[in-house]
Structure 1
Amino acid sequence: MSGFEFQLDAEQMAEVHKDLEGLAADMQAKAVRTGLVSAVSPVKRAAKQNVSVLTGDLRQSIGHRLLSKSARGRLGIADDRVAIVVGPTRKVNGYAQDFIAGLVETGVEPSTRTVRRNLKSHRARKRDGKWVTYSYRHPGQKAAPFLGPALSQHGDEMDTRFYQGLTRYLEKHRA
């Protein structure tokens, strides 16, 4: 005898059954997430190799992130689905790199920009009042895509890598 006894009534048994179903769903979500991560890992590696480097901050920020429930809802993905995003997901030196990644990926058109600055604290260039407006010609920037080519290069084998990662997870956690 174990010296350990317990009893469950019908309500408690229903709660235990519900918890066990939740555990199975949680294990299923973890398996799918592992499959997705293994499917996109070559895409992340290729994107890091393809990105143009000035300081290395953009390269350092490339990774994957699990989408939250609210983000999945905004994108029209069901709540019970697992979704990850690949790209600049981390802040580097205190700055998010996703805006920079968009500029590098798509490029910038040449244009004239007008800037209005509040120079109240900078007395050196203060003119009539506290605002200074000036214009300059921005030469633009050529597109240097890194995520698109990485996805097109490694997108063909994504389903096989997904199933390999999924089966590896299930074999590892087989009871």
Structure 2
Amino acid sequence: MDTMKAVFVSSLFLISSISAQKQKVLLFLIDGLRYDQFGYELPAFHNVEMNGVRAEWMDGAFVSLSAPSMYTIATGLHPECHGVVHNLYYDPETGAKTTSYSATLNVSEWWDTGAEPIWVTAKLNGLSVGNIMYPGGMKEVKGIVPDKIIPSDSWCGGTCHSLSGSIWRWNG
């Protein structure tokens, strides 16, 4: 899989305050991009790094599965505390389960576990938020849904250019 496709296939999350008086925050999470690949075919990300910040490292919460690690980043909690312990949904009380990651993304109770992801915190503090392909960000959590959403399966019909255009339009 080429690097640009990996960037948008995996996940990209945007949270921004629309007000001109407030600082804007963009959180990019790129699943499956090794540290030594950053910069290849990604000159725009280099520009973001030079004019903003970039994490030097991250200790993965559950390195073999994406959803638990991504929700850990969004909530600040370990998987055993936020409840997303696998890429696939399973309810031990009812036996309900999903058979694909994309189906899991549409199960509200998998994400609404009492933990508070960053986009919910932002909304509760009066900020406008958008979500592009971030696990849990397309469903209601604590009664909150982002103002703007591009679901995880949308990358199939779009290009990297059209998705990045959405980010900049949302960001004002």
Band of TM-score, shorter chain: under 0.3
- From the CA coordinates, give the structure whose radius of gyration is larger: 1
TM-score normalised according to structure 2 size:
0.27
Q: Which structure has more helix as a fraction of its residues?
A: 1
